[in-house]
Amino acid sequence: MVGFYDRARLSRGDLAVATGSNRYARTIEYGWSPDVPEHHITKLEQLAELYRAPSKRVSTKQTQTIDEVTARFLHASPFFLLATADEAGRCDVSPRGGPPGQLVVLDERRVAFPDLNGNNLVDSLRNIIANPHAGLLIITPGNDETLRLNGTATLTTDPDVLSLWDGELRRPKLAIVITLEDAFFHCAKSFRRAELWEPESWMRFADLPDPVTMLQAHTNGEDDPATARAGLEDSYRADLEQDQPPS
């Protein structure tokens, strides 16, 4: 089992752990405890001692408007991550996928996207009602650079907004409109470190547990894996079909 262990219980190199395969094995050399604050970073001055100042190019890359180049990137993206938080600051990140064009630029400071079929927990929507601050990480396949948007979110059932996706998607129950505070392109280093778009790297993850396996672990094997997988696939198929416009 992979976990955190108290430093006093371990000596260097005495605990090997694996995540289902020996090739993932690693040695935990030290434990960690949040109750020992001597190495905690709690002040901006401490950060400044650890990190160099950003370059002028990085410091000036943020913009407060959506220009033509940014709009083209938004329009092309079929996938993005939506970050929200509730009134207490508890965070949530939700993946959002759809056809290119799902992100619609309303004007130089506002972008809208539909709320498509999901699990009906509506975590993001609840958070936005409690706390409108939101962030988007916009991704395009094969591209290591991403676009980040920060701003405030509004939930709307305005028919003029909901009709923006007519012909491409079934009219959504509501849309989310982000009013921009800042936008900037993010560098490629994290995606290149991850080799995210390199097909030859994907096989290393072939034996990772899927949601059905995780559910089995959480429910002590109460559900039959084949039945659970079939039910999951059926729910995916039904929700995706409901996203399509009427024929």
Per-residue pLDDT tens digits for 158-204: 999 999 999 999 999 999 999 999 999 999 999 999 999 999 999 99
pLDDT at 13: 40
Distances (CA, A) of 243 to 114, 141, 161, 227: 10, 21, 16, 25
Ordered by start, the domain boundaries in the chain are: 7-54, 71-191, 209-243
The pTM score is: 0.85
Strand partners, 151: 134, 180
Q: For domain 71-191, which CATH number applies: 2.115.10.20, 2.30.110.10, 2.40.50.140, 3.50.50.60?
A: 2.30.110.10
How many Å apart are CA 246 and CA 167, to the nearest integer?
8
Residue 126 sits at the vertex; the CA angle it makes with 122 and 131, to the nearest 5 degrees, is 145
pLDDT at 8: 46
Residues of the chain with pLDDT under 50: 1-29
Residue 199 sits at the vertex; the CA angle it makes with 99 and 76, to the nearest 5 degrees, is 20
**Any residues with CB less than 8 A from the CB of 190 and at least 6 apart, and which?**
none
Distances (CA, A) of 14 to 6, 11, 24, 139: 13, 6, 17, 41
* Pairing outcome for strands 175-186 and 146-156: antiparallel
pLDDT at 37: 81
How many Å apart are CA 149 and CA 107, to the nearest integer?
14
Phi/psi for 154 (5° steps) reads -130, 135
